[in-house]
Amino acid sequence: MSLYGMMRTGVSGMNAQANRLSAVADNIANSDTTGYKRSSAEFSTLIMPGTGGAYNSGGVTTTIRSAVSTQGVMTYTTSVSDLAVNGDGFFVVQDASGTPYLTRAGSFVPDAQGRLVNAAGYQLMAYSYDNGEPAATANGFEGLVPVQISDQQMTATPSTEGNFTGNLPAGAAPPSGPLPSTNSATAEYTSKTSMVAYDNLGNKKLLDVYFTNTGAGTWQVAVFDQSKATPGTSFPYTGGALASTNLTFDTTTGKLTGATTGISFTVPGGSTLDLDLSQLTQLGTGFTVADAKVNGNAPSSIQKVQIGQDGVIYAQFEDGSTKALYKIPLADVQSPDNLTAMPGNVYVQSTDSGAVHIGFANEGKLGSIVSGALENSNVDIAEELTNMIAAQRSYTANSKVFQTGSDLMDVLVNLKR
C-alpha cells in the first residue's frame, strides 16, 4: 500500500503542477486582454489516515483563485466609449439572450443599432433618464436597459425648468399705471427681459418677463408669450399673462424672503416650466441679469457623447445643448476574488462571493468611472515565467517520485520469480 500511495501522491503532485501551468498559460495568453484578472493555483495538503507502524501518503489538492480585486494599470485612449473603473466595482453587461454579467472589460463600441458592446459582444447596461432621475435597484438587475445611442435620431426636449439670477433696483418707485398682470394697454413696469423656452416639438418660444416694483421690498413678476404681443408695441397680449406672482425682499439685506421663490407656467404648446428666482436680489444698483438658463432643446441630432465620472452619459446636440440619457451603475460583491469566471471575461456571483449589490459611481466604496481609458490585464509576464519554471521543476520532481515507485514495484514483483 505504501508504494502504491507513493505513486498516487506523485500523480497528485504532477496533476497539481499541471493545473498551475494551465493557469500560467491562461495568464500569459490574456496578458493583453482588457480587464483580465490573473488566475493562480493555490495548493493544500490531502492527508490520508495512517495506521500504527505505517505511513499512508496523501497528496495535494488545487484551488484556482482569480485576483479580481487587484486593479490593473489604466491606458488612456481617444474613444469616449472606452470605460474603466478606478477602484471597486464592475460594469453590468448582458449577452444576446439578456442574461446579466459583471465585467471590468470596458472596451465598448456602438454596434449597428447604436448599442454599446465590448470586444466579447456583451452589451453595456444602464438606467435611463426617460422617467426622470434614475435610482439604483440595490438587490437586483431590474430597471437596467441596454445603452443605445443613435446619431441618426433627432430629438426635441420641452422646457421644464430654469433659473434666473439678477438684481432688481432697490431705488425703483412703483409705477402709477396698471400693473403688467392686468394686461392693460397702459400697463407700466420697472424692468423687462426675455427668455427662450422650447415647446413639445422643439419650437422656440420667446417669453417676456416683467419685473414691477409694487412697494418697499415687494415686486410683481409677470410672464407673457411674446408672439401674442400687440404688433408694434407690447400690451395688451392676446390671452393675457401666462402667470404672475409676487416676491418679497428683505429691505436690509436685499435677499429674497417669504415662501414664493419662483414662478410656474405652461409654455405655449409645451410643458409646465418652473422658473427658479431664488437668487434674485434687491440692491442699490440698476437692473442686472447675471444668468438665465432654461432646459430643453430644439430638434437636432446628437453631435457627440460625453460620460462623466459619476457614470452619466450626456448627449451634446448640434445647437450646443446637452441632455442626460443614461446613468451607468457599478455592481460589487463582498468577495470579488470568489466570483465565478465565465467565457468572455465576465463574472457571475457564487456562493462564496456574496450577493451582487448595485449602486452608482463614487457612492460608498464604489470607484469612479473613467471615460477614454481601459484597464489593462493585471498579469505580470516576468512573474508568470518564473512560476512556469518553478512548476516545470516541481512537475519533473513529482515524476521522479512516480518513476521511483514504479521501479520499486518492479523489484517487489520480481521477488516472486
> What confidence tens digit (pLDDT) does each residue in 328-344 have?
999 999 999 999 999 99
Predicted confidence at residue 131, as pLDDT, reads 81
Q: Which has the minimum average pLDDT: 4-8, 248-252, 337-341, 370-374?
A: 4-8
- Asked if residues 99 and 346 have their Cβ atoms less than 8 Å apart, the reply is no
Tell me the torsion sign for CA atoms 183, 187, 192, 193: positive
Please give the Cα distance from 72 to 87 (Å, whole number): 10
Band of the pLDDT at 403, cuts 50, 70, 90? confident
Whole-angstrom Cα distance, residue 230 to residue 233? 6
- Predicted pLDDT at 50: 65
Which pLDDT score, from 0 to 100, does residue 153 have?
66
CB contact at 8 A, 210 and 226:
no
Which structural domains are found in the chain, ordered by start?
A: 2-67+378-414 (no CATH), 74-150+329-375 (no CATH), 159-295 (2.60.98.20)
The predicted structure's pLDDT at residue 139: 82
Output the CA angle 136-137-143, nearest 5 degrees.
Answer: 90
Say what the pLDDT of residue 51 is: 63
Residue ranges of E strands in 318-371? 322-327, 329-332, 340-342, 346-348, 357-360, 368-371
pLDDT digits (tens, 9 = 90+) for 96-110: 999 999 999 999 999
Grid coordinates representing 300 are 437636432
- For the record, the C-alpha cell of 149 comes out as 445611442
- Rounded CA-CA distance 136/380 in Å is 36
The residue ranking higher by pLDDT, 307 or 3, is 307
Are 36 and 407 contacting, i.e. CB atoms less than 8 angstroms apart?
A: no
* Predicted pLDDT at 67: 92
Mean pLDDT calculated for residue range 391-417: 84
Does the structure show a pLDDT above 70 at 240?
yes
> Strand, coil or helix: what is 263?
strand
pLDDT grade for 132, boundaries at 50, 70 and 90? confident
Q: Residue range 350-373: average pLDDT?
A: 93
Q: What mean pLDDT, rounded, does the chain reach?
A: 90
**Residue type for position 343:** P
Say if residue 154's pLDDT is above 90: no
Residues 6+ apart with CB under 8 A from 118: 34, 93, 103, 105, 106, 107, 108, 109, 124
Give the model confidence (pLDDT) of 248-292 as tens digits: 999 999 999 988 899 999 999 999 999 999 999 999 999 999 999
Residue 313, C-beta contacts closer than 8 angstroms, at least 6 positions apart: 126, 147, 149, 305, 306, 307, 324, 325, 326, 327, 328
Q: Which of 265, 213, 219, 208 is nearest to 242 (CA)?
A: 265
Given this model, what pLDDT does residue 150 score?
A: 75
When pLDDT is averaged across residues 392-412 and rounded to a whole number, the result is 86
Query: For position 157, what pLDDT does the model report?
Result: 84
Q: How far apart are CA 156 and CA 266, in angstroms?
A: 17
Which of 153-162, 240-249, 383-392 is predicted with the least confidence, judged by mean pLDDT? 153-162
Give the span between the Cα atoms of 193 and 191, in whole angstroms: 7
**Euclidean distance between CA atoms 299 and 280, whole angstroms:** 31
Query: Which residue, chain included where needed, has cell 444576446?
Result: 96
Predicted local distance difference test score (pLDDT) of residue 84: 95
| Contact assessment for residue 103 and residue 331, using Cβ atoms and an 8 Å cutoff | no
- 22 in helix, strand or coil? helix
Residue 351 has pLDDT above 70, yes or no: yes
pLDDT value, residue 52: 62
Q: Which residues, at least 6 apart from 104, have a Cβ–Cβ distance to it below 8 Å?
A: 35, 37, 72, 84, 85, 90, 91, 345, 375
- C-alpha of 30 from chain center: 26
| pTM for the structure as a whole | 0.69
pLDDT tens digits along 190-222 = 999 999 999 999 999 999 999 999 999 999 999
Contact between 180 and 240 under an 8 Å Cβ cutoff? The reply is no
**Which is higher by pLDDT, 191 or 5?**
191
H-helix or E-strand spanning residue 396: helix 381-414
Q: In this structure, what are the phi and psi dihedrals at residue 257, rounded to the nearest 5 degrees?
A: -125, 175
CA distance 300 to 298: 6
| pLDDT score, position 415 | 78
